[in-house]
Chain A
């Protein structure tokens, strides 16, 4: 079974530039998550989708971050414009919505973003 795919794996940009990350979840997984992992910290949830609808985006900085999940499969996370503090690893995860709180999330390899 193929895992969660993410691209690119690495991205270096200058502040105020734009960047986009792509995620392809495990086939059949209706729930998709984007996490931000700053160096030395645990992942922090940015946004959660159920199919193509947003379930939770309470921690997404909406003035510069946006995400979409067209057709309920692939997802794109965008930052425009980027700030230095956005340097982090962006992780995508997916899960089957079986039992809610006990669902296992499967993570992709992440995209490491460096903002100069």
Chain B
């Protein structure tokens, strides 16, 4: 079975500072990993996904994540935070039984606060 753990339910950074949101996964098969962002009262939007093509994945809005098999991690980073980045971020892993490979299992989320 697949699972993800997001360390830190709340992260606060200053505008212009580095953003680092942590995600560790557990999977019995090669994992496919996703980061989604959720703004208040909105659905989830895909930031980026790892599909085994490259370990460093670049996404929208300047975010990127690096897949590290040895550390079972897929941390999300952005060099310089912007006020508009304040939102809830979810890490997810896909995979399931035959026919349900696209099923997503989400972490509990990390709320990012950006201060002036």
Measuring CB to CB, which residues of chain A are less than 8 angstroms from any residue of chain B? 4, 31, 33, 40-45, 48, 50, 55-56, 91, 93, 95, 97, 99-110
Q: Does B61 contact A (CB under 8 A)?
A: no
Cβ of B46 < 8 Å from any Cβ of A? yes
Structural contact, A102 and B94, CB atoms closer than 8 A: yes
Partner of B104 from A41, A45, A55 at Cβ < 8 Å: A45
Check B108 against A105 for contact (C-beta < 8 Å). no
Could you tell me if A101 and B32 are in contact, using CB atoms closer than 8 angstroms?
Answer: yes
Enumerate B83-109 residues with CB–CB distance to A below 8 Å: 90, 92, 94-97, 99-109
Enumerate the 10 nearest inter-chain pairs by beta-carbon distance, A residue then B residue, closest first: A42-B106, A100-B101, A107-B43, A101-B101, A107-B44, A102-B51, A101-B94, A56-B100, A103-B102, A101-B32
Contact of A97 among B41, B45, B51, B102 (CB under 8 A): B102
**Known A-B contacts A42-B108, A97-B102; A104 and B90 likewise in contact (beta carbons under 8 Å):** no
A44 CA / B3 CA spacing, docked (Å): 12
Contact with A along B50-76 (1 / 0, CB 8 A): 010000000000000000000000000
In the docked arrangement, what's the CA distance between A91 and B92, Å?
A: 15
Bound complex: CA A100 to CA B95 (Å): 8
**A101 and B102 contact, CB distance less than 8 A:** yes
Contact B44 A43 (CB under 8 A): yes
B28 in the interface (beta carbon within 8 A):
no
In the complex, chain B residues whose CB is within 8 Å of the CB of A95: 102
**Assembled-state Cα–Cα distance A48/B104 (Å):** 11
